[in-house]
Structure 1
Amino acid sequence: MKHSRAVLLMIAVTLLWSTAGVVSRHLEAARSFEITFWRSGFNALALALALVWMRGPALWGQLRAAGRPVWISGLCWATMFTAFMLALTQTSVANVLVTMSLGPLLTALFARLFLHHRLPARTWGAIALGSAGIAWMFGHEMRGGGQALAGMAIAFAVPLAAATNWTLLQHSHRRVAAEEGAAPPDMLLAVLLGALISAALTLPLAWPLQAGWHDLGLLAGLGVFQLALPCLIVVQLSRVLPAPEIALLGLLEVIFGVLWAWLGAGEAPSSAALAGGAMVLAALVGNEILGLRAGR
Structure 2
Amino acid sequence: MVLVTMLWSTAGVVARQLEYARSFEVTFWRSLFTFLCLSLLLPLLQGPRFWSGLRTAGRAFWVSGVCWSVMFTAFMVALTLTSVGNVLITMAIGPLLTALVARVFIGHHVATRTWFAIAAAGAGIAYMYATQLDTLSWAGTLVALCVPIAGATNWTVTQHAHEQGHDVDLVPAVWVGGALSSLVTLPLAYPFQASGHDVLLLGGLGVFQLAIPCALSVVCARVLKAPEVSLLALLEVIFGILLAWLGAGETPTHSVLLGGAVVIGALLVNEWLGWRER
Query: Which category describes the TM-score, using the shorter chain as reference length?
Result: over 0.9
The 8 Å contact of residues 38 and 199 in structure 1, kept in 2 or not, is answered as yes
Q: Distance in 1 between matches of 2:46 and 2:112?
A: 44
Q: Deviations over 1:133-190 (max 9, x none)?
A: 112223233x2145x22111110000000001001111011100xxxxxx41121121
Alignment: residue pair count: 278
Q: Following the alignment from structure 1 to structure 2, what is the Cα–Cα distance between the partners of residues 52 and 119?
A: 39
Partners of 1:59 and 1:292 in 2: CA distance: 34
| Structure 1 residue 197, shift from structure 2 partner | 0.3
SS in 2 for 1:144: coil
**CA–CA distance in 2 between the matches of 1:173 and 1:236?**
17
CA distance in 2, matches of 1:23, 1:86: 14
Partner of 1:156: 145
Q: Deviations over 1:59-113 (max 9, x none)?
A: 3333233221111001100000000000000000000000000000011111211
The match for 1:80 is 71
Q: Is the 8 A contact 2:161 2:168 kept in 1?
A: yes
After TM superposition, the structure 1 stretch with the greater mean CA deviation from structure 2, 53-62 or 98-107, is 53-62
Secondary structure of the residue aligned to 1:210 is coil
CA distance in 2, matches of 1:186, 1:288: 25
Letter in 2 for 1:173: H
Structure 1 window deviating more from structure 2 (57-66 vs 191-200): it is: 57-66
Tell me the residue number matched to 2:168.
185
**Alignment partner of 1:265 is 2:254:** no
Cα pair 1:138 1:149 within 8 Å, conserved: no
The equivalent residue for 1:287 is: 270
Matches within 5 A, 1:134-283: 134-141=125-132, 143-145=133-135, 148-176=137-165, 183-283=166-266
TM-score by length of 2: 0.97
Q: Write the mapping of 1:17-36 to structure 2, written as runs, cut at 5 A.
A: 17-36=8-27
Aligned-CA RMSD value? 1.2
How far apart in 2 are the matches of 1:118 and 1:66? 28
State whether residues 70 and 185 of structure 1, in contact with CA within 8 Å, keep that contact through their aligned partners in structure 2. yes
- Shift in Å, 1:193: 0.5
> Quick one: distance in 1 between partners of 2:208 and 2:172?
18
Cα distance in 1 for partners of 2:119, 2:90 equals 14
1:179 maps to none
With normalisation by structure 1, the TM-score equals 0.91
Amino acid at match of 2:25: E
Structure 1, gaps ≥5 residues long: 1-9, 177-182
